Chains A and B, each alone.
Chain A
């Protein structure tokens, strides 16, 4: 599998460490009501879809950036790759509106 790194171009998946569902970027807030439930869901429960999945890959043996890869779990086809930083900033900007 080749990961299309947004800065470095196609890189062998072996250079990366896999973290899991990209929703892990959105960590719940400890001060919200119901934080206990929110954290246990955040840590332990997953959608685990068969099909399109957004997921976090860490370029450990490369430039050490986190990437959000959109990939089809039925075919391994990669549909999109963005820096996780950009994804997080964009969703923070959206939430700030």
Chain B
């Protein structure tokens, strides 16, 4: 029971983290290494909001907005000029963004760890079927599921989603239809970085809030995105669930091998399905 709940909560966190990364990749083919830095930015932003207003919920609203705003700047100033350049140029740029964001956070908030606590209503553990589980984890599961459902509906059922999917399939054709792909790209990038910041804010009560926090998570993000298939939200959901449950099981039976287990899963999926669970062979042109 506990393994299941904890596994689901890990899955929820993995999904929140990786959804933005996979969306951004799907859109412009950009591998955003700075995703972890936006996650960190969200956690610090969340801390700031809680510190000033005392409201965790307000932090969940404002931190992603801040992350999205910074995302707009990054996309406009750094990425827009290099969409048609070799992938390594884009990679280098996102690395540069990491350094800038980190220096910025350091200048504003200093080196110290920040304390972010769960809101009072979720602070006490609850008892479910005889097991003691964290109320905050149950909230995370619900939150992650809701976000996944929302994203899925937006992408699959709304006109905005259709445009996003089309623009990731063939930007040139979308332009020919009279849609400003640049605007769509900025929007998707900002949305993705906003999601990363949201993940940072919502998981801050469970992890150290410090300058290096982005590095640890970025690897997890890539594992999820690669297992799920680059650019696929459905894939991100499936891969998060798979990885979250495997991890939880791993902690249960052989905690010193959890990382190895994750990488074995990655390799196994790639051997069986080289493009990931829901990946498609991408047109390169």
User: Is B a genuine binding partner of A?
Assistant: no
